[in-house]
Structure 1
Amino acid sequence: MNPEAIALGDTNLDFSFAEKRTLMNFVQTILLWILAGIAAIPLISVLYMLISRGGVRLSTAIFTELPPAPFEQGGGIGNAIVGTLVMVAIGALISIPIGVLGGIYTGLINPNGRFSAAIRFVGKVLTGFPSILSGVFVYAWLVVVMGTYSAIAGGVSLAILMLPTVLLTSEQAFRMVPQRMKDAAYGMGCNSSQVATKIVLPTALPGVMTGVMLAVAGASGESAPLLFTALFSNYWIGSFTEPTASLSILIYNFSAMPYENQIELAWTASLVLVLIVLVFNILSRSFGTRRV
């Protein structure tokens, strides 16, 4: 490439593979595409198996009927879908207010305080907290006290797993609000509460919602904590204080059965669960790319 042509504004800039940088850029680009394709093979293969084996049973009955008993044919997973959504909703109602308020404190009110540092440390520790320990903790403190497995206990165990994600992403969203926006609001005569509600919260809302959606998506596929808290039920949920079905536990139970009908339902439940998680991830991406 001729430097003089660039300096004179020549738009006919043809790349030549004879140049070392051009050749290396081309080779590295191809190599990265190949590595990305190899990394995507497991994901594509899993999706193919779920669609090919689980998609066969997709119908209205899957969403409206109860799981069949052994030796029975047909049936559905409607109660497990409802139970999963109910327990995730309970977990969200608990974790979102606490996590967002914690993010406001650590990211806006007192970002450099010792208490904020302690909250931040606990949140980071909880991100690596084994999910089964959440179930054991809630079992000891709630299931034993209530004397029964329940949707409430399942929702509380999911809330523990959702809380650190909501907290840390909310804090980061509040800290990323440009200081000049706050200074401009103060310069126009706004007080601290007006700056927080009119400037900071609307600006940080896409980031907060991204964290919420990611937390909900992660909680939707959890199974270990629900084994100790919600257990399972073959019936529709009638009360929040009774054992409740969930997709992850249904998959766990039916995949180990020696009946073809139950195994097919396990594949279909896996596909439905992946679709639910996919929807939440798409929502998180849409909120993350939105600008206020």
Structure 2
Amino acid sequence: MDATTPMAAMHAAPVSRVRSSRRVADRVLRVSCFAATLIGAVVLGSILLMLIIEGLRGITPTLLTQPTPGPGSEGGGIANAVLGSLVLTFIGIVVATPVGVMAGTFLAEYGRGSKLAELVRFLNDILLSAPSILIGLFVYTLMVRPMGTYSGWAGGVALAIIATPVIVRTTEDMLRLVPGSMREAGAALGAPASTVIRQVTWRAASAGIVTGIILALARIAGETAPLLFTALNNNSWFSPNLMGGIANLPVMIYQFALSPYPNWQQLAWAGALLITATILALSVVARFVLSPKRH
């Protein structure tokens, strides 16, 4: 009997050293995390479902061929707002891309550990988190008031200021991921620092830099507050010189959604669906650009 007792003890189920209170806490945390995830998914899914249902009702053959109608008018479309948004976004990203890439390159390659780089990085972080309406007020004071009128140029500058810190942060992070051995190899061949940056580090980090540009493009595509103070809106086609109010989707959605006219409200839903689909497409493209290629 005594000989079999150790063997029986060896085959006995191990006793858990985890206290019951810890197991209860673990289960409570799991349930809480699952419930929070479920609530978030339900809320976001409801918003997206409502947007799709209401937005599809506003899809008409004239949606992308005619300008926005006047108050109380029937029919019409959002062609002028779509074109205005494309122009403003193009101006913003064209201005922000070289500034953001060059600034990010300075922080990652030339200014490591310097006081100036720390100051630029600090200011970039502030600008990254600054309210967009504050940027709109800044550009309004800087450009709209001296020019005496709203303009697409002011709207493009406001969007560029919003997009620049995103590109700066992404460019710096991607360049820092490039191994130092690649820079050393270029320097060992006698190439100057500028050539190493252009031919080695930029090429190695090109996918990440392009991703940052696309994300910045998606960020500014739906901005409304800065355009209220810079480009405003217009129910007709804008002037080729971009002076005066410029029709754009974000402000059009804001104004039409608050209007008492059912036709304007339907156009607002259709515009919201269009801009959401565009931002989603840009985000998907950015994800595929950033993901490593599988061979």
Please show how residues 209-224 of structure 1 align to structure 2 within 5 Å.
Answer: 209-224=210-225
Deviations 1:189-230 (A, max 9, x none): 433233211210011111111111111111111111111100
Q: Which residue of 1 aligns with 2:250?
A: 248
Give the CA deviation at 1:269. 0.8
User: What is residue 267 of structure 1 aligned with on the other side?
Assistant: 269
* Aligned partner letter, 2:109: L
Correspondence for 1:55:
56
Aligned-partner SS, 2:62: helix
Q: Indicate the residue corresponding to 2:184 in structure 1.
A: 183
Please give the root-mean-square deviation of Cα atoms over the aligned residues, in Å: 2.3
Contact 1:206/1:290 (<8 A) preserved: no
Matched with 1:5 is none
CA spacing shift, 1:132–1:31, aligned 2, 3 Å: closer
For 1:37, the aligned partner's letter is: L
Aligned to 1:195: 196
- What is the 5 A alignment of 1:24-43? 35-43=36-44
TM-score by length of 1: 0.86
- Report deviation, 1:139: 0.8
Distance 1:264 1:118, change over 3 A: same
Number of equivalent positions = 273
For residues 20 and 222 of structure 1, what CA distance do their matches in structure 2 show? 55
- Alignment match, 1:284: 286
The code of the aligned residue for 2:252 comes to L
Give the SS at the match of 1:62.
coil
Tell me how far apart the structure 2 counterparts of residues 214 and 67 of structure 1 sit (CA, whole Å). 29
Structure 1: 5+ residue runs without aligned partners?
1-17
Distance 2:30 2:199 in 1: 45
Residue 113 of structure 1: how far off its partner (Å): 1.1
Secondary structure of the structure 1 residue equivalent to 2:150: coil
Whole-Å separation in 1 of the counterparts to 2:194 and 2:139: 37
Write the letter of the residue equivalent to 1:174. L
Q: Aligned equivalents of 1:249 and 1:116: distance in 2?
A: 37
Q: CA deviation at 1:238?
A: 2.5
User: Counterpart of 2:220 in structure 1: which amino acid?
Assistant: A
Q: Show the counterpart of 1:225.
A: 226
Alpha-carbon distance between aligned partners in 2 of 1:36 and 1:286, rounded to the nearest angstrom: 25
The aligned runs of 1:147-162 (5 Å cut-off) are 147-162=148-163
Q: CA deviation at 1:182?
A: 1.7
1:246 is aligned with what amino acid?
A: N
Q: In 2, are the aligned partners of 1:206 and 1:291 still within 8 Å (CA)?
A: no
**In the aligned structure 1, how far is the partner of 2:17 from the partner of 2:250?**
53
Cα distance in 1 between the residues matched to 2:228 and 2:127: 20
CA contact (8 A) 1:203 1:291 kept: no
- Look up the equivalent residue of 1:106 and give its one-letter code: L
Unaligned runs of 5+ in 2: 1-14
- Alpha-carbon distance in structure 1 between the residues aligned to 2:198 and 2:31: 48
The amino acid across from 2:254 in the alignment is Y
Aligned-partner SS, 2:233? coil
**CA distance change for structure 1 residues 290 and 237 in 2, over 3 Å: closer, same or farther?**
farther
CA distance in 2, matches of 1:81, 1:181: 44
Query: Which residue of 1 is the match for residue 125 of structure 2?
Result: 124
CA contact (8 A) 1:173 1:208 kept: yes
Aligned to 1:11: none
Distance 2:158 2:293 in 1: 33
The aligned counterpart of 1:101 is 102
CA distance in structure 1 between the aligned counterparts of 2:17 and 2:251, rounded to whole angstroms: 56
Deviation at residue 70 of structure 1 after TM alignment: 2.1
**TM-score, length of structure 2 as denominator length:** 0.85
